[in-house]
């Protein structure tokens, strides 16, 4: 498994914990890494992903909600919702990765952690998010407005 994939899976585990634990999310990140064996690169990218989601949650969730017309975020499975958050954070803020790579990684993680039906759902939502981002004028991705 590549370091980016491992980072995404660690970020998913951290975000899953956020859903069920009160307190400062950054404390949960610190505690998670104390108990996780991972390279510095995995820790750095996993933390970067979580921080993007914490810092830009409304924008990320808004992009997901706009792309999933018939599903409210609260109704989505916790794992699916957080896989989508990770992928949308990458689509918005990590410009060195091609969108198809980000989407494929999210689909593979959904298959592993949530199942085939979830992978189809994640694919559909991310495809719609990608189309929405492609329709925005250059330079406006990742900016609220």
End-to-end CA distance of the chain: 38
Question: Does domain 3-135 match CATH 1.10.940.10?
Answer: yes
Q: Which helix (H) or strand (E) holds 18?
A: helix 3-20
Residue 54 CA to residue 85 CA, distance in Å, equals 10
- CB within 8 Å of 33: residues ≥ 6 apart: 43, 47
Q: Is the dihedral of CA 77, 16, 48, 60 positive or negative?
A: positive
Angle between helices 3-20 and 40-55 (to 10 degrees): 50
For 117, other C-beta atoms within 10 Å of its C-beta total: 12
Could you list the pLDDT tens digit for every one of the 145 residues in the chain?
A: 799 999 999 999 999 999 998 888 889 999 999 999 999 999 999 999 999 999 999 999 999 999 998 889 999 999 999 999 999 999 999 989 999 999 999 999 999 999 999 999 999 999 999 998 887 765 555 544 3
This prediction has a pTM of 0.91
User: Residue 143 CB: number of other CB atoms within 10 A?
Assistant: 9
Q: Which of 124, 126, 119, 68 has its CA nearest to residue 92?
A: 126
């Amino acid at each position: 498994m590549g370091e980016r994939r491992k980072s995404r899976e660690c970020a998913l585990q951290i975000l899953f914990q956020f859903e069920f634990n009160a307190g400062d999310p950054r404390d949960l990140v610190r505690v998670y890494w104390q108990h996780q064996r991972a390279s510095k690169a995995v820790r750095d990218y996993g933390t970067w992903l979580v921080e993007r989601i914490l810092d830009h949650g409304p924008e990320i969730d808004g992009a997901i909600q706009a792309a999933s017309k018939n599903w409210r975020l609260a109704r989505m499975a916790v794992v699916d919702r957080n896989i989508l958050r990770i992928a949308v954070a990458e689509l918005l803020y990590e410009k060195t990765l091609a969108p198809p790579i980000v989407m494929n990684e999210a689909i593979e993680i959904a298959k592993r952690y949530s199942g085939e039906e979830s992978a189809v759902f994640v694919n559909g939502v991310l495809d719609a998010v990608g189309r929405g981002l492609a329709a925005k004028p250059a330079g406006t991705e990742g900016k609220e407005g």
